[in-house]
A and B are shown apart, each in its own frame.
Chain A
Amino acid sequence: MLAYLVRRLLSNAAVFLLISVGVFLLVRAVPGDPVRMMVNPEHLAAGGPAFAAAKRTELGLDQPVLVRYGIWLRDALGGDLGYSFVSRRPVAEVLGERMGPTVLLMSTALAIGLTLAVAAGTLAAVRRNTAIDYATTVAGLGAISVPSFFLGIAAIYLFSLRLGWVPSSGMSTPGDGGGADILAHLVLPAAVLGLSIAGPFTRYVRAGLLAELGADYVRTAEAKGAGPGRVLIRHALRNALIPLITVVMIYIPQLLAGAVALEQVFAWPGMGQLAVSSIGQLDHPVVIGFAMFVAVLVLVCNLAADLLYAVADPRIGLS
């Protein structure tokens, strides 16, 4: 198993290097003087042309491309992603303060989506080929067909503007910001994002559970006199949900993509909204910092999926 993990780690590292080359090329595609992106703008203004020239040497901008790439990668891995053109603060800092809201939104959505998916998938598998099963399938198809940003717009129209139950945008009311206030802002975007992942996951749960319910050990449990509820929950469902953990891990970057659009719709102050508004302001360092973050997130999730896969199924990596 150790050999398997080392192999996955190495191959992920290779992929990360490839992606970093792509991001580096993007940095080079940004018009204007690169010093503007890399150096604290206050120092640059105070230092004058001589300081800029010294920084240019320090950043290796007069060196061959490969050396420049090495310096850039070292800085980026150390958390130095340059400075925002707009707020003039370090990119890592700007991104960092937006991370909390995005993580809150995504984790709540994941909890809602998985709860729905496990409930609907279990129901569909237990009552397979009945009206309930077909209704779940069609509902799941509906959930993946309606664009979540449109669902968000429709939800704001109905629940905020018509019914007035919850606020339409932002993360808190100015001057409030307590737990209940944030929850009221969170519930709509999280539910819409959760619904968008419930569709595909319901299919996984249903298929996984059907496979387990047909397995010999389930028949053994039944033969030994375990009740249907106990067989379903203690035996079949438990085994059916293990592979789901891996799927969830791989799905997290997609969830972030969904959050990008919904943060825009609900004016949720997360990283996705920051990225989209930075594009409008031509704040390239922030956009590129976001790209690096996503690249790291994708690889961490893939590694975690590999690891969980190996832990959940000890046969992996033995062959």
Chain B
Amino acid sequence: MSTALSPAALAARRFLGNRLALAGAVFLTAAGVLALAAPLVAGHDPNAVDLAAFREPPSAAHLLGTDSTGRDVFARLLHAGRISLLVGLLSSLAALAVGTLLGALAGVFGGAVDAVVMRAADVVLSFPSLVVIVVLAGVLGPSTAMLVLVFAAGNWPTACRVVRGLTLSLREQEYVQAARAFGAGRAALIGRHVLPAVLSQVAVVGTLLVAQMILLEAVLSFLGLGVQPPRASWGTMLTDAQNLTLLQTMPWLWLPPGLAIALTVLAVNFVGDGLRDAVDPKGTRR
């Protein structure tokens, strides 16, 4: 069969041929379903304190045991997944939206707009989001909303650079020049021609960003500066491991959330790398 396939179908075929990316996608789907169905699957209320059954090792009643206040670790793990994944997705989407828009503007307008946007991107990227949040949470108080806002404010430059670069090369393409010659305004250029053309690359950037955002949320919540207790995130669940006695005697408290973060981020990275290779086969390893 030599029927011509569309670029999207070719990309999908390349992605499905990448075993690591496929495994990552399967893992993420499972994690997503488990997180969504947490209330149905968990069997326990994640915040229900049971002082009669605290620090219990894994058993049939509590699959992953209970924590210091008798809360079910398995239930907390699933519910924490909801928060961690949601924060990762939301902040990454917000960063993508800002970055794509600014990148397209910089590319289409050029000149001073381009210079200012790209200089701002350099500066923002050189400040570690973690430190910015440490300082802001320290003075203004921690909150999940601030987490998402600062993530987005600190991570738009990656998408911005990619979109700007693509836009600059698009500007020289005949079909875009034809559109301009027919009197298409800049808004139309961005909406009709630039955005559809950069979407696949933006998806790659966005996927890899989700991995970074999940990591950041985890470490900040671990430090007590992100998601606030009693609400569970994978990061807050690891806070208990700072106690050496708990660390030594109760591995079921800290091992599951830590592995959950590591495996999720690894899966997202596999998918991101797979997407990149699928979308841009020329850019792959030599």
- Seen from chain A, the residues whose Cβ lies within 8 Å of a Cβ on chain B are 11, 15, 26, 29-30, 128-129, 137-138, 141-142, 144-147, 149-150, 153-154, 156-157, 161, 168-169, 210, 250, 253-254, 256-257, 260-261, 264-265, 275-276, 278-280, 284, 287-288, 290-291, 294, 298, 301-302
Known: A168-B244, A260-B130, A290-B135. A150 touches B270 (CB 8 A): no
Partner of B247, one of A138, A153, A256, A301: A153
Q: Within the complex, which residue of B20, B135, B238, B265 is in contact with A287, where a contact is CB–CB below 8 Å?
A: B135
Complex A-B, nearest 10 residue pairs according to Cβ-Cβ distance, in ascending order: A257-B128, A287-B138, A279-B138, A145-B266, A150-B258, A257-B130, A291-B135, A145-B265, A146-B262, A161-B248
Decide: A29 near B130, CB < 8 A? Known: A15-B123, A144-B269, A147-B219: no
Among candidates A147, A254, A280, A290, residue contacting B215 with C-beta atoms closer than 8 Å:
A147
Residues of A within 8 A of B131 (CB): 253, 256-257, 260, 291, 294
A290 to B136 Cα, complex, angstroms: 11
For A280, give the chain B residue with the smallest CB separation. Answer: B224
Q: Give Cα A129–Cα B128 distance, bound, in whole angstroms.
A: 34
Pick the most buried of A142, A146, A280, A298: most chain B CB atoms within 10 A of its CB.
A146
A-B interface pairs (CB < 8 A), number? 122
CA distance A201 to B222 in the complex (A): 26
9 A-B residue pairs with CB within 8 Å: A128-B286, A145-B266, A147-B258, A153-B242, A153-B247, A284-B138, A284-B139, A294-B127, A301-B126
Looking at chain A's contact residues, the main secondary structure is helix
Q: Cα distance A257–B127 when bound, in Å?
A: 10
**Which single residue of chain B is at the shortest CB-CB distance from A206?**
B285
Assuming the contacts A254-B128, A261-B130, A291-B135, asked whether A156 and B247 have C-beta atoms less than 8 A apart, the reply is yes
Please name all residues of chain A whose beta carbon is closer than 8 Å to the beta carbon of B285 when the two chains form the complex. Answer: 128-129, 137
B180 at the interface (CB under 8 A from A): no
User: Quick one: which of B119, B134, B140 contacts A276, CB cutoff 8 A?
Assistant: B134
- Residue from A15, A210, A288 having most chain B Cβ neighbours under 10 A: A15
- Residue of B with least CB distance to A282: B138
Which residue of B is nearest A284, CB measured?
B139
Chain B residue at minimal CB-CB distance from A142? B266
Q: Which residues of A contact B20 (CB under 8 A)?
A: 138
Interface string of B116-149 (1 = CB under 8 A from A): 0001000100111111001111111000000000
**B212 closest partner in A (C-beta):** A144
Say whether, besides A15-B123, A256-B131, A288-B135, A147 and B261 are in contact (CB < 8 Å): yes
The answer, yes or no, to whether B211 is at the interface (CB within 8 Å) is yes
- Select A253's contact among B126, B215, B286, beta carbons within 8 Å: B126
What residues of chain A lie closer than 8 Å to B219, measured between beta carbons?
A: 147, 149, 261
* B positions within 8 Å CB-CB of A: 20, 119, 123, 126-131, 134-140, 211, 215, 218-219, 222-225, 238, 241-242, 244, 247-248, 251, 254, 258, 261-262, 265-266, 269-270, 273, 285-286
Contact A253 B127 (CB under 8 A): yes
A230 vs chain B, min Cβ distance (A): 24
- Which chain B residue has the least Cβ–Cβ distance from A214? B286
Check if A153 sits within 8 Å of B258, measured CB to CB: yes
Partner of B127, one of A29, A168, A275, A298: A298
For B211, give its contact among A145, A149, A168, A278 (CB under 8 Å).
Answer: A145
Please give me the residue from chain A that is nearest to B255 by CB atom.
Answer: A154
Q: Are A275 and B286 in contact (CB under 8 A)?
A: no
Chain B residues near A276: list those with CB within 8 A. 134, 223-225
B127 / chain A contacts, CB cutoff of 8 Å:
253, 294, 298
State A274–B152 Cα separation when bound (angstroms): 27
Q: Specify the chain A residue showing the minimal Cβ separation from B265.
A: A145
Interface-centre pick from A250, A257, A290 (highest chain B CB count, 10 A):
A257
Please measure, in the bound complex, the distance between the C-alpha atom of A287 and the C-alpha atom of B241, giving whole angstroms: 25
Interface contact B262-A147, CB-CB below 8 Å = yes
Q: Is the CB of A261 within 8 A of B222?
A: yes
Let me know if B223 and A261 touch, CB within 8 A: yes
Instruction: Contacts A129-B285, A265-B242 given; indicate if A149 touches B273 (C-beta within 8 A).
Output: no
A277 CA to B119 CA, complexed, in Å: 34
Smallest beta-carbon distance B80→chain A, Å:
14
Of B134, B248, B270, the contact of A275 (CB 8 Å cutoff):
B134
Alpha-carbon distance between A169 and B270 when the two chains are bound, in angstroms: 34
Say yes or no: A157 contacts B135, CB within 8 Å.
no
Instruction: Select from chain B the residue with minimum beta-carbon distance to A253.
Output: B128
Is A279 within 8 A of B137, CB to CB?
Answer: yes
* Cα(A210)–Cα(B286), bound, Å: 9
Q: Do B258 and A154 touch across chains, with their CB atoms under 8 A apart?
A: yes
Distance between Cα atoms of A37 and B142 in the complex (Å): 21
Q: Which residues of B contact A278 (CB under 8 A)?
A: 138
Q: In the bound complex, do residue A288 and residue B262 qualify as a contact, i.e. CB atoms below 8 Å apart?
A: no
Expressed in whole angstroms, the minimum distance between the Cβ of A287 and any Cβ of chain B is 4
- Besides A153-B242, A153-B247, A276-B224, 18 more A-B contacts (Cβ < 8 Å) are A15-B123, A26-B135, A141-B269, A145-B211, A145-B269, A146-B262, A146-B265, A147-B262, A150-B238, A156-B244, A168-B244, A264-B223, A287-B134, A287-B138, A287-B139, A291-B131, A294-B127, A298-B126
